[in-house]
Amino acid sequence: MAELDRYGVTTVLFRQSGNPLEWAHVGQFAAVLDQSPERSETVVTVQAATPIRILHVRRATPAPPDAEALTRLSGPQALMK
């Protein structure tokens, strides 16, 4: 949750298939949701083969999202590190 707060993330699209090849961060985020249920709220669930939840993340300290940092984080070079 500290990383979500650091980047100012307020919305997450979350899909967990349970597939053994699923990326590790998906399971890590599921654990965070279980440990801190007061920090997130499911806004809507999109029914699909694997449901997709859109979550509102309540921040520890209100502040606007850091768009520049999020853009750097999601760039191909950052994802490949």
Q: Write the pLDDT tens digit of every residue in 37-55.
A: 999 999 999 998 889 999 9
Domains in the chain: how many in total? 1
- List the domain range (segments joined by +) for residue 42: 2-79
State the virtual CA torsion across 32, 37, 43, 47 in degrees, nearest 10.
60
Confirm whether pTM is higher than 0.95: no
Predicted local distance difference test score (pLDDT) of residue 78: 57
Query: Six-digit token pair at 50?
Result: 């694997």
Q: In what order do the strands lie in the sheet with 40-46?
A: 11-15, 52-57, 40-46
Please state whether 17 falls in left (phi above 0), alpha (psi between -120 and 50) or beta.
Answer: alpha
